[in-house]
Amino acid sequence: MRNETLRLILLLLLCSHLHSVLSWKKEEFRTCHQTPFCKRARSRAPGSSSLIATDVTISHGDLTAKLTPKHDSQSETKPLLLTLSVYQRGILRLKIDEDPSLSPPKKRFEVPDVIVSEFPSTKLWLPKISSVENGLSSSVYLSDGHSAVLRHDPFELFIRDDSSGDRVISLNSHDLFDFEQLKHKSEDDNWEEQFRSHTDRRPYGPQSISFDVSFYGADFVYGIPERAASLALKPTRGPNVDESEPYRLFNLDVFEYIHDSPFGLYGSIPFMVSHGKARGSSGFFWLNAAEMQIDVLAPGWDAESGIALPSHRIDTFWMSEAGVVDAFFFIGPNPKDVLRQYTAVTGTPAMPQLFSIAYHQCRWNYRDEEDVEHVDSKFDELDIPYDVLWLDIEHTDGKRYFTWDRALFPHPEEMQRKLASKGRHMVTIVDPHIKRDENFHLHKEASQKGYYVKDASGNDFDGWCWPGSSSYPDTLNPEIRSWWADKFSYQSYEGSTPSLYIWNDMNEPSVFNGPEVTMPRDVTHYGGVEHRELHNAYGYYFHMATANGLLKRGEGNDRPFVLSRALFAGSQRYGAVWTGDNTADWDHLRVSIPMVLTLGLTGMSFSGADIGGFFGNPEPELLVRWYQLGAYYPFFRAHAHHDTKRREPWLFGERNTELIKDAIHVRYALLPYFYTLFREANTTGVPVVRPLWMEFPSDEATFSNDETFMVGSSILVQGIYTERAKHASVYLPGKQSWYDLRTGAVYKGGVTHKLEVTEESIPAFQRAGTIIARKDRFRRSSTQMANDPYTLVVALNSSQAAEGELYIDDGSSFNFLQGGYIHRRFIFSNGKLTSIDLAPASSSKGRYPSDAFIERIILLGHAPSSKNALIEPSNQKVDIELGPLWVLRARAPAVTTIRRPNVRVAEDWTITVI
Ligand SMILES: *[C@@H]1O[C@H](CO)[C@@H](O)[C@H](O)[C@H]1NC(C)=O
Ligand SMILES: *[C@@H]1O[C@H](CO)[C@@H](O)[C@H](O)[C@H]1NC(C)=O
């Protein structure tokens, strides 16, 4: 009887626990209505601001003007300063701030260290202003074919396409601009704000900014991560729209986030991209790290104004709690141009180490050294490659980062060396909350040096996180970043070795007992900056400091790998991110694609979702589907919550182990292709994984498709997002055909195919007219595959032609920046495959030396008449015969294959089919 009761109680406890786990605690977070600046801004009507531009002139190569109120009644309002600057590639920058010569109470915060140092030197020195419409507007040159126009009354800024006279993008066309200027507090002012049990003292009072931005020739807008929602942003206000929250940008640790919500998650990139059939793409970026709320307005939202809407225009409304206007406009017109323009400002993604784009095995937690050894050896036993084993918070001594629980991990160096001997790496977690323990050297040092963020009373801010009472280093300060970076040296981080890399979690920052589970807004940082002004970039500076630590540790010649949960514009320069604590269900599998695509569209190419879902236990079928999809994420890691059942690839029966292994094999085979794409992202900003419309910009059928995506320009992937799927409808864009990656079967482009689906794989296709490089021998890790031979898969199009690229370097150092790499273009036409050198002729370090050769060339779509191929310059003949499309797969279909051409990948050659 007592046992029964006990069991009942346990069951009840378990249920109540489960219940709390399975619900998003909505009431813990503010809505727009509960956020005074958002509520105020949203209630304003068009035509309410009426600022006029005066004193328009050229100064230091910029256009400058004053913005003054039209009506004298607003006598309190001082003129604002407006500056317009023009940069190469068609980039327009607008700054609006209070006039320092009128001595505002405080300097408003401008986010440092996001704009790359090269950018200012691309400024075009504006020679003159042209007067338009009889002096009612002023215009300046922006690029060949585009001007920037400033209308004076009321002020409005727009970019004009000079040939058509059409607008591209504009600001304040609806006269919603509002800028709350800082004031000296008078006795009657009560600036405090309450949310739940928290008081925000708001010592500087209201200081929000809001305005409208319109995109022309646009059918959809995209971007502004991070949230779990569709790729194309749905309207949040207007006729026929269920009044919803605006899209929120506020970095938060949202426990159990739901899969379809405008609510902001861990990161913020205030960058929006538009796309439409009429014009192509344009972009708008607001460099501001305070809380932001953005409405996408449905056509007719301003119906009262009686103005007929031009079609294909999308209006948006931007609101921020603090900061200045520092906004960038990008003219596109191709989607890839917008990425080039945006990353000219915020930087292209760092080139990752090769190992970090392979498969990562993680869980909270691998318990001890024995557990690590067991998991590691199981991969070997089953011939499943993997590159990185991860340790979560439990590996530390009481959540003191940079330490080890010596009972569980007595020999960390030896453990890492064992992994390294198989070419594998380890990642440990280092979070920003530092345990307030006088015996912890890091805390002692940080508190003595005054390196912590300060609370509103000027003491070290003390918040609750994993270790209990914690403080947070103020990494906005470059000196503190440098101090933090030094903590990653081998001397300082005991038990670390060169094969150890880092993971930054909880850096939104997460504060369990803070308002909305984060830091209070009236906490202060370096230079008197309020947390409200900086919030969305806190995690960015922490990520930066950590990446710099690994750079220092490696003496500048080992590329850092740091995974971060929080992110901001520019995070792409410091490492990878993941989509945080998702859930093991089909909806989360599905939403991972728009999330990863959105991050890529906003510069953050290196991202992925936790394979399997962090919370909960995936059914084996879901887990297998997740591996099959995740094998195409730029960042490919399995991870799981502490309370979930173990789910290493071999725990679901032999068949599922085979399926998971096969999915991982696909990724390893495609590593040369992925690595080439990472280099493309590194040089151009164009993401590894792309929405279809980035490759097919005039095909409307692709604009809101976020179930299908492109990996580079050559592979299309369709996830399977439902249980026991037997069929899938897949739209294959373009005029050319597509080859099934697995079977080589050919499908027509420009139509939706109803395909049969098996458990073996998700639909994936190679585009006709492309060549991709693979490595088909599997070893323990990517590192061990370095010298393995290549397979080229030539997918011919209707003109029996194809093209592709391959980039190779040492996979780890910075020698590639001095020319230490191989970059080839393969061209197949008129029956001849040619390898052309794309690397510049000379370089100080010399080419990356590789003896690797090409062991197999597969010709898809080739008329099967030829028997031989002639290799030049060696003048050798090799056979053409039928061979398997995938060597390691039983029942792989036979395809036309040039066997053993054995040409070197680093050399020039041609192979002619005869
Ligand atoms: C590529 O990545 C490296 C860091 O890995 C960075 O130093 C470089 O600026 C990036 N961009 C280019 C064009 O190489
Ligand atoms: C076939 O592919 C080649 C190489 O990518 C390309 O130049 C050519 O335009 C393509 N032909 C057709 C008809 O699309």
The model's pLDDT over 378-393, given as tens digits with 9 standing for 90+, comes to 999 999 999 999 999 9
> Over 70: is that where the pLDDT of 145 sits?
yes
Pocket of ligand 2 (CB under 6 A): 736, 769, 797-799, 801-803
603: number of CA atoms within 13 Å, CB side?
31
In the structure encoding, which two tokens stand for residue 211, read together? Answer: 């305005």
What are the φ and ψ backbone dihedral angles of 485, each rounded to 5 degrees?
-60, -40
Average pLDDT on 673-702 reads 98
Ligand 1 geometric centre to CA of 846 (Å): 18
Q: Which of 36-40, 186-190, 533-537 has the lowest mean pLDDT?
A: 186-190
- Beta strand 463-465 with 524-525: parallel, antiparallel or unpaired? unpaired
What separation in Å is there between the alpha carbon of 814 and the centre of ligand 1? 9
Determine the Cα–Cα distance for residues 446 and 480; give it in Å rounded to an integer: 9
Ligand with smallest separation from the Cα of 680: 1
Return the residue whose CA atom lies nearest to atom 6 of ligand 1: 350
Protein residue with least CA distance to atom 3, ligand 1: 350
**Angle at which helices 335-346 and 671-684 cross, to 10°:** 70
pLDDT at 470: 98
Q: What is the pLDDT of residue 18?
A: 43
User: Strands 689-690 and 271-276: what pairing?
Assistant: unpaired
- Is 431 a residue of the active site? no
Which ligand minimizes its atom distance to the CA of 818? Answer: 1
Helices (H), 450-537: 478-486, 531-534
Please name which ligand lies nearest the alpha carbon of 833: 2
Residue ranges of the chain that CATH labels 2.60.40.1760: 36-181+205-346
Ligand in nearest proximity to the CA of 826: 2
CB of 683 closer than 6 A to ligand 1? yes
pLDDT digits (tens, 9 = 90+) for 751-774: 999 999 999 999 999 999 999 999
pLDDT for 907 beyond 80? yes
Q: Which ligand is nearest to the CA of 817?
A: 1
| pLDDT higher than threshold 50 for residue 1 | no
**Who's near 331: CB < 8 A, 6+ residues apart?**
90, 91, 92, 142, 143, 146, 159, 168, 169, 282, 337, 341
- How would you classify the pairing of strands 267-268 and 567-568? parallel
**Rounded CA gap, 759 and 755, in Å?**
13
CA of 861 to the centre of ligand 2 (A): 13
What's the CATH number of domain 36-181+205-346, 2.60.40.1760, 3.90.1170.50, 3.40.120.10, 3.40.630.10?
2.60.40.1760
User: Are 71 and 125 contacting, i.e. CB atoms less than 8 angstroms apart?
Assistant: no
Q: For ligand 2, atom 11, which residue shows the shortest CA distance?
A: 799
Q: In which element (H, E) is residue 416 found?
A: helix 412-420
Determine phi and psi for 675, rounding to 5 degrees. Answer: -65, -40
Ligand 1 atom 8, closest CA: 350
Coil, strand or helix at 452: strand
Q: In this structure, which amino acid lies at residue 793?
A: V
pTM: 0.96
The tokens for 670 are 């495609």
Residue 20 has pLDDT above 50, yes or no: no
Cα(572)–Cα(757) distance, rounded to whole angstroms? 36
Distance CA 156, CA 174 (A): 9
Q: Which residue among 817, 818, 821, 843 is best mutated to probe the pocket of ligand 1, counting the most ligand atoms within 8 A of its Cβ?
A: 817
Among 793, 798, 799, name the best residue to mutate to test ligand 2's pocket (greatest count of ligand atoms within 8 A of Cβ): 799
Catalytic, out of 219, 326, 581, 776: 581
Rounded mean pLDDT, 721-748? 97
Quote the tokens at residue 570. 């520019």
Alpha-carbon span 707 to 592, nearest angstrom: 10
CB of 348 within 6 A of ligand 1: the answer is yes
Question: Could you tell me the distance, in angstroms and rounded to a whole number, from the CA of residue 588 to the centre of ligand 1?
Answer: 33
* pLDDT for residue 13: 47
Tell me which of 117, 339, 550, 682 to substitute to probe ligand 1's pocket, judged by most ligand atoms within 8 Å of the beta carbon.
682
CA angle 22, 25, 31 (to 5 degrees): 145
Mean residue pLDDT across the chain: 94
- Which residue in 175, 508, 707, 788 is the catalytic one? 508
pLDDT digits (tens, 9 = 90+) for 480-533: 999 999 999 999 999 999 999 999 999 999 999 999 999 999 999 999 999 999
Q: Coil, strand, or helix at residue 99?
A: coil
> Is the pLDDT reported for residue 844 higher than 90?
no
Residues of the chain with CATH 3.20.20.80: 354-613
State the residue for tokens 């035509």. 47
Over residues 573-629, the pLDDT tens digits come to 999 999 999 999 999 999 999 999 999 999 999 999 999 999 999 999 999 999 999
17 pLDDT above the threshold of 50: no
Do the beta carbons of residue 191 and residue 203 sit within 8 Å?
yes
Residues in CB range of 92: below 8 A, 6 or more apart: 84, 85, 86, 142, 148, 159, 328, 329, 331
Contacts of 842 (CB under 8 A, 6+ apart): 819
pLDDT at 890: 77
Q: If you measure from the C-alpha of residue 279 to the centroid of ligand 2, how many angstroms do you get, rounded to a whole number?
A: 24
Determine the average pLDDT of the residues in 163-175: 96
Residue 433's Cβ-count burial label (10 Å; 0-12, 13-18, 19+) is buried
Q: How far apart are CA 752 and CA 315, in angstroms?
A: 32
Closest CA to 768 of 859, 834, 831, 698: 859
Q: Give me the helices (H) in 317-402, please.
A: 335-346, 369-381
What is the percent of the chain where pLDDT is above 90?
A: 89
pLDDT tens, position by position, 247-258: 999 999 998 898
Ligand 1: centre distance to CA 392 (Å): 29
| 421 Cβ contact partners less than 8 Å away, ≥ 6 residues apart | none
pLDDT attached to residue 111: 98
The residue behind tokens 């003292």 is 201
Q: Ligand 2: distance of its center to the CA of 687 in Å?
A: 23
Predicted local distance difference test score (pLDDT) of residue 21: 44
From the candidates 505, 516, 662, 740, which is the catalytic residue? 505
pLDDT class for 242, splitting at 50, 70, 90?
confident
pLDDT reading at 133 higher than 80: yes
Is 373 known to be catalytic?
no
- Quote the percentage of the chain above a pLDDT of 70: 96
- Say if ligand 1 is within 6 A of residue 605 CB: no
Query: Would the pLDDT of 547 be above 60?
Result: yes
pLDDT band at residue 225, thresholds of 50, 70 and 90? very high
User: Looking at the predicted structure, is the pLDDT value of residue 307 above 60?
Assistant: no
Tens of pLDDT, residue by residue over 74-109, are 567 899 999 999 999 999 999 999 999 999 999 999
Note the pLDDT of residue 72. Answer: 65
Residue 58: helix, strand or coil by DSSP?
Answer: strand
Q: Which CATH class is domain 354-613?
A: alpha beta
DSSP assignment of 167-187: EEEEESTT---EE----PPPT
Distance 575 CA to ligand 1 centre (A): 12
pLDDT at 680: 98
List C-alpha distances in Å: 872 to 836, 875, 906: 13, 5, 14
SS3 (DSSP) at 636: strand
Total residue count of the chain as it appears in this document: 914
Q: Is the dihedral of CA 227, 230, 232, 234 positive or negative?
A: negative
581 an active-site residue? yes
What phi, psi does 405 have (nearest 5°)? -75, 105
